[in-house]
Structures are given as C-alpha cells and as structure tokens.
C-alpha cells in the first residue's frame, strides 16, 4: 500500500485542487445541487478553471464546494464529483475536455435532467 502525501490533504480533510492537475486533460469536476430537494442543477468545471476561481492550487474540493452557488436558484448546497473524460485521446486533442462536457450538459438539459450553470 502506498502512503498518501500528507500535504495533498487540506485542513478540511479533502484533497487539494493541485493534486488533480496531472489529470487535468482527462478528468473534470461536475458541480451539482445537493439540497434537500436535490434540485438537479449541474455544471462542468475544468480543473484549471477551478484553480483560477479559487485563486490558488492549495484550495481544496470542500472549499470549492463552499464557494459555488447555483446561478438558477441561488442554492449554496453544492457537491463536486470527479468525472472522467471517456473520449479517445484523438478526440480530446481535437476539441478539449470542456467542449465534450458542455455537449453532455446540453444533452442532459434537452432530456430535462437539469443542467443549470453554477458559479461563485
């Protein structure tokens, strides 16, 4: 078993955003409403964009969750899920990971599955 780098975990017990940088081209964050009603508003956030939003790669996932709010309803109960980019490498190189995330989001909205933008 490999020991985890203790500096990779922030004071709130969650992983620091910088730990995701090596996978920034193959994973992204999915921010979604987590209220009692589970209101289903979801938005993709790239790893680098999350770091820019927080102003530091030392920020943690939980700090990012606390910073975001739903632009549709103003809800602040947000959860972050790490999403893999399942496209082949050639497609990733041609249009980038967030382009595919936006396409997936648009498909969800067309099916009536939420898909509202989340911002700070």
- Cα 55 to Cα 67, 69, 85, 103: the distances in Å are 12, 17, 25, 27
Largest Cα–Cα separation, the chain? 44
The domain limits of the chain are 6-119
H or E stretch including 42? Answer: strand 42-45
Per-residue confidence at 113, pLDDT binned at 50, 70, 90?
very low
Task: Tell me if 78 sits within 8 A of 39, measured CB to CB.
Answer: no
Cα(55)–Cα(98) distance, rounded to whole angstroms?
Answer: 20
pLDDT digits 0-9 by tens, 57-103: 999 999 999 998 877 777 788 888 888 877 666 666 666 556 666 66
Q: What is the mean pLDDT of the chain?
A: 75
Separation of alpha carbons 44 and 108, rounded Å: 12
Residue 21 has pLDDT above 80, yes or no: yes
């Amino acid at each position: 078993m490999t020991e985890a780098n203790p500096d990779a975990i922030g004071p709130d017990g969650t992983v620091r955003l910088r730990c995701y940088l090596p996978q920034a081209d193959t994973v992204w964050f999915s921010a979604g409403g987590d209220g009692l009603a589970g209101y289903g508003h979801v938005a993709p956030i790239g790893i680098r964009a999350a770091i820019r939003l927080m102003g530091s790669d030392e920020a943690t996932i939980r700090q990012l969750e606390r910073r975001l709010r739903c632009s549709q309803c103003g809800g602040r109960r947000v959860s972050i899920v790490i999403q893999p980019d399942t496209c082949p490498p050639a497609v990733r190189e041609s249009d980038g990971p967030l382009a595919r995330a936006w396409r997936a989001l648009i498909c969800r909205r067309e099916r009536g599955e939420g898909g509202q933008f989340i911002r700070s």
